[in-house]
Amino acid sequence: MSKTFENKVVVVTGGTSGIGLATAKAFSNEGASVFITGRRKDALDAAVKEIGGRVTGVQGDMAKLVDIDRLYDAVQQKHSQIDVVFANAGGGEFAPLGAITEEHYEKTFDTNVKGVLFTVQKALPLLRDGASIVLTSSTTSISGTPALSVYSATKAAVRNFARNWILDLKDRHIRVNAVSPGVTETAGLNELFGNGDSAENTKNYLAGLIPAGRIGQPEEIAKAVLFLASDQASFINGVELFVDGGQVQI
């Protein structure tokens, strides 16, 4: 039986952990040649090994334009075009209004907004007409969380990139959608919640607020990304797909 992404070329930024790693694996399992990025070399090497198949790791910080150029140079050495870009690298830290520093602002916006913008813009010469772009936003794009305003603002920005880019890319029939995970079990989430007991307690508390009664798994976000990237979603364009167990639907 043919696989959904057989002979397709897929770029996943932040593909060494959590949602990006699970998604890179899922694309690889569906036959794609996958390029993943991450800043940490050891994590990148481990992820490449774990994913197997036709995967290439490109070390780099997606907030830096020279690193994004290196990513696409690496793609171009092996392929003439890209079918899917999953601009996922991102993260955040808590800082309440009153304690927000310039460094916090710049770090968060550089990774989550500047990084996503230039990951997509620099992919354009290689993206084939009819390609698909998926951006990682978050339920925080439409909901408030104490001490998370800068992160939430970046995710609202990402969501709005999708609305506007479908107009800019209209003539090339390139679809752009955002996936908005709710609370999802990843290393990044555990770190945000202080790891150990602190993280477990916070996750248990949040699980109680989610209609599904639990937090999400990275593989569940990956399934939504593959759907949006696939021809199954051929008429879905510019949406924000919440994958959150109902968290922001109530």
Mark 188-217 with x for binding to ligand NAP (rule: CB under 6 A) and - for no binding.
Answer: xx----------------------------
d(CA 37, CA 29): 18
Q: Which stretch binds ligand NAP (CB under 6 A): 26-34, 93-101, 118-126, 184-192?
A: 184-192
Residue 210's region, left for phi above 0, alpha for psi from -120 to 50, else beta, is beta
The dihedral of CA 184, 186, 187, 190: what is its sign? positive
| Tokens at 86, concatenated | 């999953």
- Contact in structure between 54 and 25 (CB atoms under 8 Å): no
Told to check if 115 binds ligand NAP by CB under 6 A, we report yes
Give least dist CB 67 to ligand NAP, A. 7
Binders of ligand NAP among 59-78, rule CB under 6 A? 61-63
The question of whether 151 is a catalytic residue gets the answer yes
**Per rule CB under 6 A, is residue 49 in the interface with ligand NAP?**
no
Please name the residues in contact with 76: beta carbons below 8 A apart, sequence gap of 6 or more. 126
- Is 181 a binding residue for ligand NAP by CB under 6 A? The answer is yes
Nearer to ligand NAP, 91 or 245 (CB): 91
**For residue 88, which of 19, 149, 152 has the smallest C-alpha distance?**
19
Candidates 10, 26, 82, 89: give the one binding ligand NAP (CB under 6 A).
Answer: 89
Among positions 8, 9, 10, 16, the unique one binding ligand NAP when judged by CB under 6 A: 16
Does residue number 108 form part of the binding site for ligand NAP (CB under 6 A)?
no
Q: What is the three-class DSSP state of 180?
A: strand
Residue 193 C-beta: closest distance to ligand NAP, Å: 10
247 binds ligand NAP (CB under 6 A): no
Instruction: Count the neighbouring beta carbons within 10 Å of the beta carbon of residue 176.
Output: 25
Q: Does 138 contact ligand NAP by CB under 6 A?
A: yes
Q: Output b/e per residue, 119-136; b: 16+ Cβ within 10 A.
A: bbeebbebbbeebbbbbb
- Residues at the site binding ligand NAP, with contacts judged by CB under 6 A: 13-20, 37-40, 43, 61-63, 88-92, 111, 115, 136, 138, 181, 183-184, 186-189
| Active site residues per annotation | 151
